[in-house]
Amino acid sequence: MPTRRRALLILAALAGLAQLSIVLALMVGSIAINPTEVLATLFGKGDGMAGDVVRSLRLPRALTGFACGGLLALAGALLQVLLRNPLADPYVLGISGGAGIGALLAIVLGLGVAGINGLAFAGALAAMLLVFGLAHGEGGWTQSRLLLTGVIVAAGCGAVVTLLLALAPDDQLRGMLFWLMGDLSQSGDPQLVLILLVIVLLIALPFARELNLLARGADIAQALGVAVRPLRRGVYLVASLATAAAVTHAGAIGFIGLIVPHLVRLAAGNDQRLLLPASVLAGGSLLVIADTLARTLLAPQQLPVGVLTALIGVPVFLFLLSRAAPGRY
């Protein structure tokens, strides 16, 4: 268990990493912009083309990426505790599947960005309510019932998504695939997701120590003074909304929600008081870095960012896993 001081040090280091990743994202691209210019534009003094590129293109995209990465990592950490399953990720309960149906439907119908986002969010909410309603049988839900219901609803959504892909005209297929793999190029105004990220984190943090107990089992938590029922519902709701918001803005970016909480856990332990904010910072940074690579590696060709998150995440994870002290994991 980290002391409060050590937790703050780790968070400060991660906050530095987050800033670095964003500055890097602002510098790199088809027009290279040096750090002094980036700083100048950020504080409102830059003008000309560099200023335009940074302010209207790269900054919104980097901030959206950071917020979405943070939301996904936070949702993953919360669901791993809720389901007491280290393999849980934000998509395991079918939320991304529901959003996927909504988004693809909007693309098929030829709606614009607002329409895609709107239908994706509606789909995510519908999947969330469906799983919550179905899993809530007699005597409340158990982890396995919730997990099974979520997995089945996700599988059903996956089938509908495949159906939509099969029926869609060829010229729309590429857009659909990019949405499914995760894509930040259409992200728009970052304000909403950033505010949501802050709200979700502020809601979750006061309950962090109770989540530590919930991770050890519902009965054990209840016996130690946690009001388990409202806590579990709250966690489900918050994690679902965080996932829905991220998926709506950036598509179903894989891997961040699964791997970032594990990275933090391997490096700093499983105390949610540190794990939750650290996952937000690490998840946000990872997605910003991945997105920067996605749009520069094969420029002018843009790669789906979901591929990059996996390509970065897998080796880092394997390295940390092999480095972990013998006897752990």
- Which residues lie near another protein (CB under 8 A)? 1, 3-4, 84-86, 206, 209-210, 212-213, 215-217, 219-220, 222-228, 265, 269-271, 273, 327-329
Which CB, 96 or 212, lies closer to another protein?
212
The amino acid at 129: L
Q: Min. distance of Cβ 220 from another protein in angstroms?
A: 6
HSE value, Cβ hemisphere, 13 Å, CA-based, for 43: 5
Q: Min. distance of Cβ 111 from another protein in angstroms?
A: 42
Which CB, 174 or 328, lies closer to another protein?
328
Q: Encoding tokens for residue 252?
A: 């179903």
Which CB, 63 or 204, lies closer to another protein?
204
Q: Min. distance of Cβ 228 from another protein in angstroms?
A: 8
Which CB, 279 or 285, lies closer to another protein?
279
Sign of CA dihedral 170, 174, 179, 181: positive
Q: What is the 3-state secondary structure (H, E, C) of 120-140?
A: HHHHHHHHHHHHHHHHCCCCC
d(CA 183, CA 263): 23
d(CA 71, CA 95): 14
- List the Cα angle 192/200/304 in 5-degree steps: 60
Q: Min. distance of Cβ 212 from another protein in angstroms?
A: 7
Q: Are 245 and 306 in contact (CB under 8 A)?
A: no
Q: Min. distance of Cβ 208 from another protein in angstroms?
A: 9
Q: Min. distance of Cβ 231 from another protein in angstroms?
A: 10
Q: Encoding tokens for residue 204?
A: 């979750």
Q: What is the 3-state secondary structure (H, E, C) of 11-43?
A: HHHHHHHHHHHHHHHHHCCCCCCCHHHHHHHHC
Which CB, 1 or 298, lies closer to another protein?
1
Distances (CA, A) of 173 to 70, 168, 193, 251, 307: 29, 7, 27, 15, 18
Which CB, 113 or 224, lies closer to another protein?
224
Please report, for the chain, how many H helices and E strands are present, in that order: 15, 0
Total Cβ atoms within 10 A of residue 240: 25
Which CB, 39 or 224, lies closer to another protein?
224
> In the 8-state DSSP scheme, what is residue 215?
T
Q: Min. distance of Cβ 143 from another protein in angstroms?
A: 9
Which CB, 1 or 49, lies closer to another protein?
1
Q: Min. distance of Cβ 280 from another protein in angstroms?
A: 19
